Amino acid sequence: MKKLGQELRKIRESKNILLRQVASYLEIDTAMISKVERGERRLNRQQVIKIAEYYNTKEEKLLTLWVCDKVLDVVENEPFAKKGMQKALKALEV
């Protein structure tokens, strides 16, 4: 769970960048990005794009994780999560 946060932390650590620096680039509080990396808070789409740029990472990769998290949030603790998601996927195919 919290795919995007995990990835962001991994990237940030591999680049030896501080939370403070990322926060400043995104113009948010350090506490906020800390929470994001631990899956406690979500970024919005623009912030994901901006951070992808900052990290020189494929936007698509991070946005995919971001969507994934949002979907998981919505279905968590839901017995029919899987069935519902499969139906939603099918709806997209059409």
Partner DNA sequence: AGTGACTTGTCATTATTTGTCAAAAATACA
Partner DNA sequence: TGTATTTTTGACAAATAATGACAAGTCACT
The verdict on 59 binding DNA (CB under 7 A) reads no
Please report whether residue 63 would count as binding a copy of itself according to CB under 8 A. Answer: yes
* Near DNA by CB under 7 A: residue from 3, 6, 25, 35: 35
Q: Determine, following the binding rule CB under 8 A, whether residue 56 of this chain makes contact with a copy of itself.
A: no
Here the tokens at position 47 are: 């912030």
**Choices 38-46, 50-58, 76-84, 85-93 (CB under 7 A): range interacting with DNA:** 38-46
State the residue for tokens 């740029």.
Answer: 53
Contacted by 72, from DNA, a copy of itself, none: CB < 5 to 8 Å by type: a copy of itself
Q: How far apart are CA 32 and CA 94, in angstroms?
A: 38
HSE-CB at 75 with a 13 A cutoff on CA atoms is 17
Q: Which residue has the tokens 């979907």?
A: 71
